Amino acid sequence: MTDVTDATDVAHVTADPADPAGTDGTDGTAGHDHGVHGYHKQKDEHLKRLRRIEGQIRGLQRMVDEDVYCIDILTQVSASTKALQSFALQLLEEHLRHCVADAALKGGDEIDAKVKEATQAIARMLRT
């Protein structure tokens, strides 16, 4: 199978895929603050992981370009999908441990908003 771990950079992902440039008047971060987030301590590790996933996607492009057997491509698609799901779960865990836990300490309406936000994120993940 083709080695697919040679990616060199990561595409910027925004909160609204339908509006990647933030043309709705925002900067694409869905109104969230720009402070330290739960993933901050593992940022370099996450970027390395995303670069590896990007390499897998580039490998898929090469496989199609090189007319690789369908099942081999599907196997790589499955591996790429699982890698993204694993990354998403790690990010969700860090969000719960940092952002939701911080909101719980502050109390008030913020905890309800953070729990609702996390629940919606989980629902989106389950739809995929």
Q: Which one-letter amino acid corresponds to residue 95? A: H
- In a 13 Å sphere around the CA of 73, the CA atoms on its Cβ side amount to 12
Residue 73 token pair: 């491509």
The model's confidence at residue 41, banded by pLDDT at 50, 70 and 90, is: confident
Name residues whose C-beta falls within 8 Å of residue 108's C-beta, 6 or more positions apart in sequence.
Answer: none
Q: Which of 40, 46, 52 is nearest to 97 (CA)?
A: 40
Report yes or no on whether pTM surpasses 0.85. Answer: no
How is 20-68 classified by DSSP, letter by letter? TT-TTSS-SSTT---S--TTGGGHHHHHHHHHHHHHHHHHHHHHHHTT-
Please report the pLDDT score of residue 121 as a whole number: 92
Mean pLDDT over 36-61 rounds to 88
Decide if 3 contacts 59 (C-beta within 8 A): yes
Q: Is the pLDDT of residue 61 over 50?
A: yes
Confidence of residue 33 (pLDDT cuts 50, 70, 90): low
Mean pLDDT of 33-45: 71
Q: What is the pLDDT of residues 78-106, one digit of tens each?
A: 999 999 999 999 999 999 999 899 999 98
